[in-house]
Amino acid sequence: MGRTQARGRSGRRRGAPDTRGEILAAARAEFGERGYDGATMRGIARAAAVDPALVHHYFGTKEKLFLAAMEIPFDPVIISERIADTTSTMGIGERAIRTFLGVWGDPVGRAPILAMLRSAMRHEAAATLLRQFITRVVLGRVLVAFESMPDGALRAEAMVSHLVGLAIVRYVVKLEPIASVSDEELIALVAPVLQRYFDGGLPPSPG
């Protein structure tokens, strides 16, 4: 009887070997269905049949849980700090392409990103997760540096779109000679184009 009472007092499920995986699976489903803003730690815990405290124990914050669910192999805070300079856009084109190639140059880190891109090209749910990652995690931080710049959001999105397209051509489709050209050659080619997104003026809107 004492054992029964002790078991009954347990207020949450103890961590099991597969609990973390179950939380991640629930998180992917919740983020895919409700979006980043709509998904909650409590809702993910409910879907995984665990106590919300256990979700916080494993992952800390919703963003960290999102990154783990997406299997992102890098810290977006470090990436955004390397790209964005809050005082000037000078040199951002080269910083962006060098940072981008540095991330993709790691074969271990490249694998989950490739899987994410390939999946996004075939499945709407995966495309939704990728879109949320780009807008919430990547652009959300980079845009802070350009929030006072005219059309800053449009310019930053153009840069990120260029880099995503480059990733698909170089690492997924493997179109030659882009696929095998050296990093330095690619930097020399692409950096001025990315810089142009920030240095050039935009045409006035019609009407």
At 8, the pLDDT band (50, 70, 90 cuts) reads very low
CATH topology of domain 76-199: Tetracycline Repressor; domain 2 (1.10.357)
pLDDT in tens, 16-53: 558 899 999 999 888 877 877 788 999 999 999 999 99
At 104, the pLDDT band (50, 70, 90 cuts) reads confident
Alpha carbon distance 57, 19 (integer Å): 12
Superfamily of segment(s) 14-70: Homeodomain-like (1.10.10.60)
**pLDDT attached to residue 24:** 92
**What does each C-alpha distance from 28 to 53, 69, 78, 135 come to in angstroms?**
19, 6, 24, 17
Rounding to the nearest 10 degrees, give the CA dihedral for residues 15, 18, 21, 25.
-100
At 73, the pLDDT band (50, 70, 90 cuts) reads low
Domains 14-70 and 76-199 share a fold: no
- Nearest-5° Cα angle at 147, 141 to 151: 115
Contact 58, 44 (CB under 8 A): no
Q: Say whether pLDDT at 190 is over 90.
A: yes
Alpha carbon distance 105, 101 (integer Å): 6
Would you call 117 helix, strand, or coil by DSSP? helix
Long-range contacts formed by 180-187: CB under 8 A, 24+ apart: 183/101, 183/105, 186/97, 186/101, 187/94, 187/97, 187/98, 187/101
**pLDDT attached to residue 12:** 46
Q: Say whether pLDDT at 106 is over 60.
A: yes
What is the average pLDDT value for the chain, to the nearest integer? 79
Top pLDDT among 172 and 41 is at 41
Where in the chain are the domains? 14-70, 76-199
Q: What's the whole-model pTM score?
A: 0.66
At 72, the pLDDT band (50, 70, 90 cuts) reads confident
